[in-house]
């Protein structure tokens, strides 16, 4: 693919996207701090009290939103235990698991959604979900979610994207394993369905993901190629990769969340604990503040510090009419005398008046040869 995806939307990557309504919203994009999403996934282990506690802890840590996943085992796969429907990868966290059973354990009951969303909103967080089939889209629409998330494995489910686009809400899409042409098709489908507010997430669809497979350099390229805001769905351990992504222009960061990795949960191994989430919020905001603009010559805040540069001072008393030698002057801090670059001119000049040790040298105090 060459050039912009759609020249009619050439500035979309720079435009602010507002998620939410007048009562509760977040502005996302250039000039706004990164939007941090705590993904609950199946780490609630189907314990409703635990799920509610996770929402409370996410809010305390400063997350801007919580996200659920909306599916049932039967909407995800077939109830079969043949080869195709059992996880065969030996290095998988879920090796040997029957897909139907795994999705059954990881799913969030539909009847929890409304209360968890309302709880999050009452704590000042947005709340939304990833639908995995068209019925889930209808269900989430009935709950008036502020946006929709397309999971990386569903990016090629064009009918699902078309259905979501028609709901008139912003759409966040994880790209995962997708090729440029697959992302292009997903974005075009969303736009043709009426969705102009699209955020793509760079994502590595391994669980956990390794930093060396994350390729953050893709973020600015993706933003230019698809003229969309771009963020990161991060499955690596710790917060370092997510924090670094902000320097590459990530406007959204999504990470899985758990109260304690030791307590388990289907995604616990690559999920953040509350203290890590709090660090993620503060450190990504710190990087956002630090990005600034191209600047030389020091900032306004540094202006007072310039006095502590070096300059030329008298280090040996001298009488008016005497010639300054190298023994009379020294380059020291602070910077109230002549700049060090003038040393060769100063040496050999004539003192116009008596000068004691500690006198900052100035042109008014000396007469240079030939003047």
User: What's 231's DSSP letter?
Assistant: E
pLDDT (0 to 100) of residue 106:
87
Question: How many residues comprise the chain?
Answer: 371
Cα end-to-end span (Å), the chain:
68
pLDDT (0 to 100) of residue 1:
39
**Which region among 100-109, 280-289, 309-318, 339-348 has the lowest average model confidence (pLDDT)?**
100-109
255 neighbors 38 (Cβ within 8 angstroms): yes
* Mean pLDDT of all residues in 10-21: 85
Question: Residue 63 pLDDT > 80, yes or no?
Answer: yes
Please report which confidence band the pLDDT of residue 255 belongs to, taking 50, 70 and 90 as the band edges: very high
pLDDT (0 to 100) of residue 298:
81
Share of the chain above pLDDT 70, in %: 96
19 neighbors 28 (Cβ within 8 angstroms): yes
**Coil/strand/helix, residue 257:** strand
pLDDT (0 to 100) of residue 126:
98
**Which region among 230-234, 288-292, 294-298 has the lowest average model confidence (pLDDT)?**
294-298
110 neighbors 137 (Cβ within 8 angstroms): no
Question: Residue 232 pLDDT > 60, yes or no?
Answer: yes
CA distance 233 to 235: 7
Alpha carbons within 13 angstroms on the beta-carbon side of residue 38 total 35
pLDDT (0 to 100) of residue 370:
55
* Mean pLDDT of all residues in 13-35: 93
Whole-prediction pTM: 0.85
CA distance 127 to 145: 7
User: What's 363's DSSP letter?
Assistant: G
124 neighbors 61 (Cβ within 8 angstroms): no
Question: Residue 5 pLDDT > 60, yes or no?
Answer: no
**Coil/strand/helix, residue 250:** coil
pLDDT (0 to 100) of residue 278:
97
**Coil/strand/helix, residue 87:** coil
- Full 3-state SS string of 306-318: HHHCCEEEECCCE
Which H helix or E strand runs over 284? helix 274-291
Q: Tell me what the pLDDT averaged over the chain comes to.
A: 92
Q: Which residues contact 77 (CB under 8 A, 6 or more apart)?
A: 85, 99, 100, 103
Q: Which residues contact 344 (CB under 8 A, 6 or more apart)?
A: none
**Which region among 7-16, 190-199, 225-234, 279-288 has the lowest average model confidence (pLDDT)?**
7-16
**Coil/strand/helix, residue 23:** coil
Please report which confidence band the pLDDT of residue 208 belongs to, taking 50, 70 and 90 as the band edges: confident
**Coil/strand/helix, residue 248:** coil
- Listing DSSP states for 199-226 in one string gives EEEEE--SSSPPGGGT-TTHHHHHHHHH
**Coil/strand/helix, residue 355:** strand
Q: Which residues contact 292 (CB under 8 A, 6 or more apart)?
A: none
pLDDT (0 to 100) of residue 242:
96
Question: Residue 345 pLDDT > 80, yes or no?
Answer: yes
**Which region among 7-21, 129-143, 236-250 has the lowest average model confidence (pLDDT)?**
7-21
93 neighbors 63 (Cβ within 8 angstroms): no
pLDDT (0 to 100) of residue 207:
77
Nearest-CA neighbor of 173 among 3, 51, 17, 10? 17
Per the model's pLDDT, the better-predicted residue between 102 and 57 turns out to be 57
Nearest-CA neighbor of 116 among 103, 106, 127? 127
CA distance 140 to 243: 31
Please report which confidence band the pLDDT of residue 3 belongs to, taking 50, 70 and 90 as the band edges: very low
Give the residues across from 355 on adjacent strands: 318
């Amino acid at each position: 693919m060459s050039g912009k995806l759609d020249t009619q939307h050439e500035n979309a990557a720079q435009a602010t996207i507002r998620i939410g309504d007048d009562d509760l919203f977040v502005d996302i994009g250039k000039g706004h701090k990164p939007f941090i999403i705590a993904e609950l996934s199946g780490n609630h282990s189907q314990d409703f009290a635990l799920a509610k506690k996770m929402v409370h802890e996410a809010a305390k840590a400063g997350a801007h939103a919580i996200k659920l996943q909306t599916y049932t085992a039967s909407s995800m796969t077939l109830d079969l235990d043949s080869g195709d429907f059992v996880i065969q990868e030996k290095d998988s966290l879920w090796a040997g698991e029957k897909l139907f059973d795994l999705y059954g354990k990881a799913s969030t009951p539909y009847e929890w959604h409304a209360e968890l969303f309302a709880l999050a909103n009452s704590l000042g967080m947005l709340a939304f979900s990833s639908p995995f089939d068209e019925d889930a889209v209808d269900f989430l629409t009935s709950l008036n979610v502020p946006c929709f998330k397309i999971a990386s494995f569903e990016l090629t489910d064009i009918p699902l994207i078309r259905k979501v686009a028609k709901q008139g809400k912003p759409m966040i899409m994880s790209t995962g394993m997708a090729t440029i042409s697959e992302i292009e098709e997903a974005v075009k489908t969303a736009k043709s369905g009426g969705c102009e507010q699209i955020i793509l997430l760079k994502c590595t669809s391994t669980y956990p993901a390794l930093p060396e497979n994350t390729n953050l350099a893709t973020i600015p390229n993706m933003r230019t190629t698809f003229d969309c805001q771009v963020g990161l769905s991060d499955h690596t351990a710790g917060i370092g990769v997510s924090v670094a992504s902000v320097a590459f222009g990530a406007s959204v960061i999504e990470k899985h969340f758990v109260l304690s990795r030791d307590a388990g949960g289907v995604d616990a191994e690559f999920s953040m604990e509350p203290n890590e989430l709090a660090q993620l919020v503060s450190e990504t905001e710190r990087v956002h503040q630090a990005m600034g603009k191209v600047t030389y010559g020091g900032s306004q805040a540094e202006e007072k510090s310039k006095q502590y540069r070096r300059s030329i001072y008298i280090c040996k008393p001298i009488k008016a009419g005497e010639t300054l030698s190298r023994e009379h002057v020294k380059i020291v801090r602070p910077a109230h005398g002549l700049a060090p670059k003038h040393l060769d001119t100063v040496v050999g000049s004539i003192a116009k008046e008596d000068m004691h040790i500690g006198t900052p040298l100035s042109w008014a105090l000396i007469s240079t040869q030939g003047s």
